[in-house]
């Protein structure tokens, strides 16, 4: 089977969980870089990676690299590439860019020149051109420029993979689905015991845990992927990948995932999101409760929590909340593994539990500690 090179992007700190997920689909040889993993894969593995990996943001395929010293050179080089072999005229496309260069200072203009080159190539060959759709393109490309080195990459995922398709409502400061899956994975949860989020917000951690527990593919509720729109899309192979993954879904494991929150609005939002994942209705449960009063439903399990960081409420209140949370968890959750994500390191320091690991993560643009404890 022919293999091609791909780059899976992730969030800072989630490289290891992503590496493990790729290994599960047989992709062993990887190069881990900052927020990304480079690997070689067959087309089947590419489809699997897009469908199954919970900690990938998107999967890019490097198309070609070249050097350009001015806009015209860039235009000519881009036009030389056989775009017509990659996608058809009736597909729309868009280009996003990341430009750091002293030569190319107007990144919008560079992006425009690249689009012109692709369009002109089609027009010269077929006397017709594909349309550009910046909002909902069928085919997405990334233009990456550092100095005079230019790379073009195809986004095989299309919409970012954290857009699972189930979260239609969010509350204040919701976690990215990829981050939620990463927190669960980093906690070492065995997928065979209960998992609790006592400050569940819009329910992301619980729904991700439920999907993991039942082996529901990360992309199960999505209706499309970028690779659907490629000229070499193999529908039979995609159906095989999808059906094989569906066969592994196991809904009756007898384990419950518990989400709770002090705010009833959060519970309503969580329940609404859960409604979009009908398979989990009997597996994930949400209820309104103060985290400082919850009791452990089983003797062992995992508790993951993303408490308020203190930007919205007073610092002292947050400090007290963290301290009491630590005390309560120590009393009630002996035997549990805990994972606490926060940017408020001083408040985290007030939790005096047996810490086994800290992972540096970025929650959006906020630097966070993810501290894992064994009670």
- Binding footprint of ligand SAM on the chain (CB under 6 A): 171, 173-175, 198-202, 204-205, 261-263, 266, 290-292, 306-308
Of 206 and 216, which has the nearer Cβ to ligand SAM?
Answer: 206
Q: Which is nearer to ligand SAM, 90 or 367 (CB)?
A: 367
What is the closest distance, in whole angstroms, from the C-beta atom of residue 109 to ligand SAM in the complex?
38
What is d(CA 96, CA 107) in angstroms, rounded to the nearest whole number?
Answer: 10
CB closer to ligand SAM out of 153 and 207: 207
For residue 375, the minimal CB distance to ligand SAM (Å) is 18
Nearer to ligand SAM, 320 or 356 (CB): 320
Nearer to ligand SAM (CB atom), residue 76 or residue 367: 367
CB of 148 to ligand SAM, least distance (A): 42
**Beta carbon of residue 210, minimum distance to ligand SAM (angstroms, whole number):** 14
Chain centroid, CA 256 distance in Å: 24
CB of 74 to ligand SAM, least distance (A): 41
Closest separation in Å from C-beta 30 to ligand SAM: 28
Contact 13, 360 (CB under 8 A): yes
CB of 342 to ligand SAM, least distance (A): 9
| Residue with smaller CB distance to ligand SAM, 13 or 201 | 201
219 contacts 50 by C-beta, under 8 angstroms? yes
Cβ density class 322-357: b for 16+ within 10 Å, e for less: beebbebbbeebeebbbbbbbbbeebbebbebeeee
CB-closest chain residue to ligand SAM: 201
Nearer to ligand SAM, 137 or 174 (CB): 174
> Mapped to the 3 state alphabet, what secondary structure does the chain carry?
CCCEEEEEECCCCCHHHHHHHHHHCCCCCEEEECCEEEEEECHHHHHHHHHHCCCCCEEEEEEEEEECCCHHHHHHHHHHCCHHHCCCCCCCEEEEEEEECCCCCCHHHHHHHHHHHHHHHHHHHHCCCCCECCCCCCEEEEEEEECCEEEEEEECCCCCCCCCCCCCCCCCCCCCHHHHHHHHHHHCCCCCCEEEECCCCCCHHHHHHHHHHCCCCCCCCCCCCHHHHCCCCCHHHHHHHHHHHHHCCCCCCCCCEEEEECCHHHHHHHHHHHHCCHHHCCCEEEEECCCCCCCCCCCCEEEEECCCCCCCCCHHHHHHHHHHHHHHHHHHCCCEEEEEEECCHHHHCCCCCCEEEEEEEEECCEEEEEEEEEC
Q: How far is the CB of 263 from ligand SAM (least distance, A)?
A: 4
Is 37 or 175 the residue whose CB approaches ligand SAM more closely?
Answer: 175
Nearest distance from C-beta of residue 53 to ligand SAM, angstroms = 20
Q: In terms of CB distance, is 253 or 345 closer to ligand SAM?
A: 345
Closest distance to ligand SAM from the beta carbon of 76 (Å): 47
DSSP annotation of 257: E
Q: Which is nearer to ligand SAM, 74 or 199 (CB)?
A: 199
């Amino acid at each position: 089977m022919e293999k091609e090179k791909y780059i899976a992007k992730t969030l800072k700190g989630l490289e290891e969980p992503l590496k493990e997920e790729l290994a599960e689909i047989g992709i062993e040889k990887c190069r881990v870089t900052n927020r990304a993993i480079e690997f070689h894969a067959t087309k089947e593995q590419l489809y699997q990676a897009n469908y199954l990996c919970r900690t990938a943001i998107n999967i890019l395929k490097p198309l070609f690299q070249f050097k350009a010293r001015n806009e015209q050179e860039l235009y000519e080089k881009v036009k030389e590439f056989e775009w017509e072999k990659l996608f058809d005229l009736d597909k729309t496309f868009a280009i996003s860019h990341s430009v750091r260069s002293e030569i190319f200072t107007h990144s919008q203009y560079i992006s425009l020149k690249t689009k012109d080159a692709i369009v002109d190539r089609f027009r010269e060959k077929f006397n017709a051109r594909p349309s550009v759709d910046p909002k909902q393109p069928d085919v997405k490309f990334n233009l990456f420029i550092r100095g005079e080195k230019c790379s073009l990459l195809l986004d095989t995922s299309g919409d970012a993979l954290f857009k699972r398709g189930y979260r239609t409502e969010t509350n204040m400061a919701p976690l990215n689905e990829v981050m939620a899956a990463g927190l669960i994975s980093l906690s070492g949860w065995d997928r065979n015991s209960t998992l609790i989020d006592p400050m569940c917000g819009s329910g992301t951690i619980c729904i991700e845990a439920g999907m993991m527990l039942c082996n529901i593919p990360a992309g199960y509720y999505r209706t499309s992927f970028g690779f659907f729109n490629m000229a070499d899309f193999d529908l039979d192979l995609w159906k095989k990948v999808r059906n094989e993954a569906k066969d592994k879904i196991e809904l009756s494991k007898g384990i419950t995932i518990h989400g709770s929150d002090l705010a009833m609005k959060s519970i309503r939002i969580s329940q609404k999101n859960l409604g979009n994942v009908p398979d989990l209705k009997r597996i994930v449960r949400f209820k309104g409760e103060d985290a400082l009063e919850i009791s452990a439903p089983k003797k062992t399990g995992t508790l993951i929590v993303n408490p308020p960081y203190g930007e919205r409420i007073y610092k002292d209140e947050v400090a007290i909340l963290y301290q009491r949370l630590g005390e309560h968890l120590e009393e009630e959750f002996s035997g549990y593994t805990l994972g606490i994500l926060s940017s408020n390191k001083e408040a985290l320091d007030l939790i005096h539990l047996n810490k086994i690991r800290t992972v540096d993560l970025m929650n959006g643009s906020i630097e966070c500690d993810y501290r894992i404890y064994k009670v």
